[in-house]
Amino acid sequence: MNAPGMNAQSDYYYEASARERAQGLLDPGSFTEFMGPQSRCLSPHLAQFNLTGAFDDGIIIGAGLLQGMPVYVAAQEGRFMGGAFGELHGAKLVGLLRAAAAHKITAVLLALDTGGVRLQEANAGEMAISEVLRAIVAARRAGVAVIALVGGRAGAFGGGGIIAASCSRIIVSGHGRISVSGPEVIETNKGVEEFDSKDRGLVWRVTGGRSRALLGGADAYVADRISAFRDAALAQIPNAPPFTLESLQAEQARLSQRLAAYGTCRDATEIWRQAGLEPPAPVADLSEADYAGLSRLPEADHDAR
């Protein structure tokens, strides 16, 4: 008896585990995991809070081939503590990025799935994120394309949002959300009038993959398939902008323009209207095919970041 997909690798990105994503993004059978679960790299901090850990501290790192090209990959497990950064978790990623720079690897695929810093490891987690940012900059300076992939349940929030923004390119699916302060954090600090975190439609319109891609906050939008992320990564790697003063200035100019044009908008729909995009239906409700037919804002394709 053979039911579809039975006992086989699923292609759905959102539902996949970090390890399934890492394996599925690369050529079949080419993934070699560094510091896999049998090395038992558990967080040294969690036990002090009477919490059980994970054998890989919630991040899978390794090397493999992408259409024959050697690349590195890192994938966060969004279901373990919301994919949050702890000391060891961050150190694994920093090590991978440094190795990529040292060995002049063409690209690192960074499958982000994180709420930001792990509360129990606050300072160590904050430091880890800073070190990751520095390592990304160093890797990009060394010519490594660092491609962020965002399509898991935790999205890329807090420090994870900043990390995404510092990558060479960002690929996102409809499930993916990117932001720095999470919806609940904004509501708590600024009030429900500013942002109603329970209005999930609003949350996705503002932070979700479809809006981010339309506005240039992400460089490519893909369906919820591991294979789609893989194809988009292959397309984006050659286009990754160099990490130069010019590209930073271009990014600064792009963001200033965006702030000037849409800074007063309170919802993504206002931005679309102001930009002359009048989608036939709410963007979130379009089918993948109809969404693909929408044109992005003219400034969404850019040489920045």
Partner 1 sequence: MGLKSWDRQRRERQARLDAAAPLAQGKIVPTARVSALLRALIRPGDRLCLEGDNQKQADFLADALAALDPAEIHDLHIVQSGVVLQAHLDLFERGLARKLDFSYSGPQSAAIARALDAGKIELGAVHTYIELFARYFMDLTPNVALIAAVQADHEGNLYTGPNTEDTPTIVEATAFKSGIVVAQVNKLVDKLPRVDIPGSMVDFVIEADRPFYVEPLFTRDPAAITEVQILMAMMALKGIYAPYGVRRLNHGIGFPTAAIELILPTYGEALGLRGKIATHFALNPHPTLIPAIESGWVEQVHCFGSEVGMDQYMSARPDIFFLGQDGTLRSNRLMCQTAGLYACDMFIGSTLQIDLAGNSSTFTNGRIAGFGGAPNMGADARGRRHASPAWMQAGQEAAGEAGSLVRGRKLVVQMVETFGEKLVPRFVEELDSVRMARDLKLDLAPVMIYGDDVTHIVTEEGIANLLLCRSTEEREQAIRGVAGFTPIGRGRDRAVVERLRARKVIQRPEDLGISPLDATRQLLAARSVQDLVACSGGLYRPPAKFRNW
Partner 2 sequence: MEQFQIRIEPARPASGGRRLASLGVNASGNLELLVERSLPPGEAVFDIATAATGFRDLWEAVISDLCARLPVGGLHFSINDGGARPDVVGLRLMQGAALMEQPA
User: How many Cα atoms are found within 13 Å in the side-chain-facing hemisphere of 259?
Assistant: 6
Q: Which does 6 bind (CB under 5 to 8 A by kind): partner 2, partner 1, none?
A: partner 1
- Closer CB to partner 1, 72 or 291, in the complex: 291
Selected binder of partner 2 within 5, 15, 47, 198 (CB under 8 A):
47
Q: Is residue 143 exposed (0-12), middle (13-18) or buried (19+ Cβ within 10 Å)?
A: middle
Q: How far is the CB of 24 from partner 1 (least distance, A)?
A: 13
Instruction: Tell which one of 9, 15, 40, 290 touches partner 2 (CB under 8 A).
Output: 40
Rounded to the nearest 10 degrees, the angle between the axes of helix 87-102 and helix 122-141 is: 10
Judged by beta carbon distances under 5 to 8 A according to partner kind, the member of partner 2, partner 1, none in contact with residue 242 is: none
Among partner 2, partner 1, none, residue 208 binds (CB under 5-8 Å by kind): partner 1
Q: How far is the CB of 211 from partner 1 (least distance, A)?
A: 11
* Distance of closest approach, residue 3 Cβ to partner 1, in angstroms: 3
Tell me the site size for partner 2, rule CB under 8 A. 17
Q: What part of residues 63-102 is at the interface with partner 2 (CB under 8 A)?
A: 77, 79-80
Least distance to partner 1, CB of residue 40, Å: 25
| Residue 55 engages partner 2 in binding (rule: CB under 8 A) | yes
Per-position x/- string for 134-173, each x denoting binding to partner 2 as judged by CB under 8 A, each - no binding = ----------------------------------------
**Residue 40 binding partner per list partner 1, partner 2, none, with a CB distance cut-off of 5 to 8 Å that depends on partner kind:** partner 2
Under a CB-based contact definition with an 8 Å cutoff, are residues 268 and 283 in contact?
yes
Report, in Å, the least distance between residue 49 CB and partner 2.
9
Work out whether 120 is an interface residue with partner 2 (CB under 8 A).
Answer: no
State the Cα–Cα distance between residues 140 and 138, nearest whole angstrom. Answer: 5
For partner 1, the binding residues (CB under 8 A) are 1-8, 10, 12, 14-15, 174-175, 199-201, 204, 208, 284-285, 287
User: Residue 94 CA to chain centroid, in angstroms?
Assistant: 16
Q: Which of helix, strand or coil describes residue 197?
A: coil
Which residue, 159 or 174, is less far from partner 1 as judged by CB?
174
Query: Could you say which of partner 2, partner 1, none residue 19 binds, taking C-beta under 5 to 8 angstroms by partner kind?
Result: partner 2
CA 114 from chain center: how many Å?
8
Rule CB under 8 A: say whether 38 interacts with partner 2. yes
Only one residue has tokens 């880890």, namely 128
The residue (of 159 and 182) whose beta carbon lies closer to partner 1 is 182
Closer to partner 1 by Cβ: residue 92 or 205: 205
Contacting positions for partner 2 (CB under 8 A): 17, 19, 36-38, 40, 42, 47, 50-55, 77, 79-80
